[in-house]
Structure 1
Amino acid sequence: MKKVLALVISLTLTAVIAGCASKAGDAEQAAAPVKTKDTITIAWYPNESGADLKDARDELGKVIEKATGKKVEHKTTTDYIIAIEAIASGSADIAYMGPQGYIEANAKNKKVQPLVVPSGESGTLDDAVYYSWLNVRKGEEEAYKSGGSFSIDNIVGKKFSFVSNSSTSGFKVPSTGIVSYFSKKDKYKNLTVDDLVQGGKDKFFNEVLFGGSHQGAAVNLLTGKADVAAFCDTCVSNYVELSSGTANKPGAVYKVKQGAAEPFNTLIGKEFSLISVTPVLNSPFAINTNTVSADDVKKLKDVFTSDAVTNNPKIILPKDSKDTGLFKQKTGKEKFLTVDDAWFNPVRELSK
């Protein structure tokens, strides 16, 4: 774990250079003791709320129902904040969320804790990361090079799309990286993250958009609404395929694949290029331990980390599968692992 923590802390702050409303604890204090419930509600971010992922959500629900003997209800959302508030308030019992969203929910209610995270390709936490990308349209990437290497110097004055200010890889990591890089220049020595969220003639960006989801940010880029967009590899993997270059490396080109579901169905064949890539700690399934009993928490941890789930092709797609899913094998070693709250401290550090 120390290895991945050091990796994320250092690369989150430097990879860009290489090319790269309640107070905390209020909800906890107001929360009632755990009561036995017949239903477990799962909240999903907009990224995982699409109709194309319904079968994957339902399969996970069936596993949870079998493990706990309780009915599962899915709460799909159109905004990160809805899911974060749901798990923090207890109107949802489980949520699949990015590290930043988890940290925000935990700050609102300490009873929100990580349940499991997907492992890395090694089957361990050592490489349990996904990737935050800065992307431009194919054919425009040469404008973002300096001395033959990719550089973000020329993103100034452009139309830029983030995902949501509660997104780790679609806001927290790229905005922190941009500030870290540009604040070393005299002109931008006082640059802050707040300076990146509002566009204008005299602002850092000419225009700033929020896609609402990683898919939305990608669409903003491919439709010309944005010149540069931040989104992650995993959230668009069901819709795009590597066209050239090395996956998750600056210079890689991805193409919207045939048969891509909405919102990419009208963008088949459109391409974009990566100009910056930064690793991010994997996203957790979080659980509200004030609404789910300790007995059920244990059952859920046991089933998520079981061979039955690891080998369930509807939950973790085989690496040669053409189906759409939430998770996919790359080496055959991927599985879910338990972590504690402190595992996400590198992401917390980005806000300090």
Structure 2
Amino acid sequence: MQKKWMAVLVFAVALFGLAACSSDDAQGQEGGAGDVIDIVWYPNESGNDLKTARDAIGEQIAEATGKEVEHHLTTDYAIAIETIVNNNAALAFMGAQGYIEANEQNDAIKPIVVSTGSSGTLDDAMYHSWLAVKVDEADDFKDNGEFSLDTIEDKRFSFVSNSSTSGFVVPSSTILDYFSDKDLTEEDLMEDGPLFSQVLFGGSHQGSAVNLLNDSADVAAFCDSCVDNYVEIAEGEENTVGSVYRVKDDAEEPFNTVPGEEFTLMSVTPVLNAPFVANMDVLGEENYEVIQEAFASDEMANNEDVFVPSDSDASGLFSKSGEERFVPVEDEWFNPIRELSQN
């Protein structure tokens, strides 16, 4: 008799478990994300100096959805991409190339918004990929007084990550096009020997810049927006070949090791702005729509912790000099970066 009742009890518990799972599945399909929305950040945006910006974005998402927001900080591009691809995060802020890689691995990854330029539209929604050298070595990278890519051959070169749009895909495409007669591949640029004497990866844009400034590399690829909080223009105009930038005396990690160091730009290339993206299997359509609306709202655009006024000394993810804001974006907008990756 006791065994019979035990069997009944086990059967009842199993039925209860199945019912609970069915309920959870239904909730996931309708709303998604449960009670917590996890947003994963690249290493570039995981530093303490950007905590206020991350928290401000998280607060807007929490207010819009009524859910708790948790920030998943990383020290590696691949980890960030894997986190959202493997359904361990609902949202991510990542470069165009990272989004493309994530979408290829999991078609549930979908763009939400990108930040615009000062026009408030996608027409100028771009930042810049730099190739930089130290100021006192600039002449070594010139031919007849002009910067030339011929001079980077056999030099020590620092990229960010092979999943970085402006820290690898864009500069490597430029380099491969220039040295087309050498029949090189992206893989060749990641290895010591075929073109560069040594290849380093900074792991972040900040890390790649520091590789240059601490003399670990002769040339480095990184982007303007990721180092904007740490450097100031010392000579020339912003995002112009030949302009000189100086590390601020009070710059936070990792630039606190190279205060006052200067670099100059030998190449400047516009790049499509980075998207916030969603894993639809984790987030759900209802939450996606609510979050997209919150991102594109005037309230978000006017949040000075998110879009920091250009005359402010505060650190932020985005700068506001005009009508900058977030706008919805479709997958097709990233096709120019896809085409670079396929070349």
Fold shared by both chains (TM-score > 0.5): yes
- Select the residue among 323, 326, 330 that pairs with 1:336: 326
- Tell me how far 1:36 sits from its aligned partner: 5.3
CA contact (8 A) 2:247 2:255 kept: yes
- Tell me how far 1:267 sits from its aligned partner: 1.2
Report the Cα distance in structure 2 between the residues aligned to 1:320 and 1:191, rounded to whole angstroms: 44
**Superposed, which structure 2 residues align to 1:95-114 within 5 Å?**
95-114=92-111
Residues 1:239 and 1:51: Cα distance change in structure 2 (over 3 Å):
same
CA contact (8 A) 2:81 2:98 kept: yes
Report the Cα distance in structure 1 between the residues aligned to 2:33 and 2:225, rounded to whole angstroms: 35
| 2:131 alignment partner in structure 1 | 134
Is residue 2:68 matched to residue 1:64? no
- Structural RMSD (CA): 1.2
SS at match of 1:173: helix
SS at match of 1:217: helix
- Select the residue among 76, 91, 108 that pairs with 1:79: 76
Is residue 2:118 matched to residue 1:121? yes
Q: What are structure 1's unaligned runs of at least 5 residues?
A: 1-31
Report the Cα distance in structure 2 between the residues aligned to 1:123 and 1:64, rounded to whole angstroms: 21
**Superposed, which structure 2 residues align to 1:290-309 within 5 Å?**
290-309=281-300
- Tell me how far 1:226 sits from its aligned partner: 0.1
SS at match of 1:337: strand
Is residue 2:241 matched to residue 1:250? yes
Report the Cα distance in structure 2 between the residues aligned to 1:222 and 1:36, rounded to whole angstroms: 42
Runs of 4+ more than 3 Å apart: 32-36
**Superposed, which structure 2 residues align to 1:256-275 within 5 Å?**
256-275=247-266
CA contact (8 A) 2:33 2:90 kept: no
Paired residues in the alignment total 314
- Tell me how far 1:54 sits from its aligned partner: 1.1
| 1:164 alignment partner in structure 2 | 161
| 2:196 alignment partner in structure 1 | 205
- Tell me how far 1:33 sits from its aligned partner: 4.5
Residues 1:61 and 1:328: Cα distance change in structure 2 (over 3 Å):
same
In the superposition, the TM-score normalised over structure 2's length comes to 0.89
- Tell me how far 1:143 sits from its aligned partner: 1.8
The AA in structure 1 aligned to 2:107 is: K
Report the Cα distance in structure 2 between the residues aligned to 1:192 and 1:105, rounded to whole angstroms: 22
List per-residue Cα deviations over 1:124-154 (Å, max 9, x = no partner).
1111111000000012112222233221111
In the superposition, the TM-score normalised over structure 1's length comes to 0.87
Report the Cα distance in structure 2 between the residues aligned to 1:45 and 1:339, rounded to whole angstroms: 20
Report the Cα distance in structure 2 between the residues aligned to 1:302 and 1:36, rounded to whole angstroms: 17
Q: What are structure 2's unaligned runs of at least 5 residues?
A: 1-27
| 1:216 alignment partner in structure 2 | 207
Using the aligned pairs only, state the percent identity.
55
| 1:350 alignment partner in structure 2 | 340
List per-residue Cα deviations over 1:28-66 (Å, max 9, x = no partner).
xxxx85645110000000000011111111111111100
Report the Cα distance in structure 1 between the residues aligned to 2:312 and 2:275, rounded to whole angstroms: 23
| 2:187 alignment partner in structure 1 | 194
- Tell me how far 1:289 sits from its aligned partner: 1.2
CA contact (8 A) 2:110 2:277 kept: yes
* Structure number having the greater helix percentage: 2
SS at match of 2:270: strand
Report the Cα distance in structure 2 between the residues aligned to 1:74 and 1:282, rounded to whole angstroms: 21
Residues 1:36 and 1:196: Cα distance change in structure 2 (over 3 Å):
closer
- Select the residue among 296, 308, 312 that pairs with 1:321: 312
SS at match of 2:281: coil
- Tell me how far 1:298 sits from its aligned partner: 1.1
| 1:29 alignment partner in structure 2 | none
Pair member with larger Rg: 2
| 2:20 alignment partner in structure 1 | none
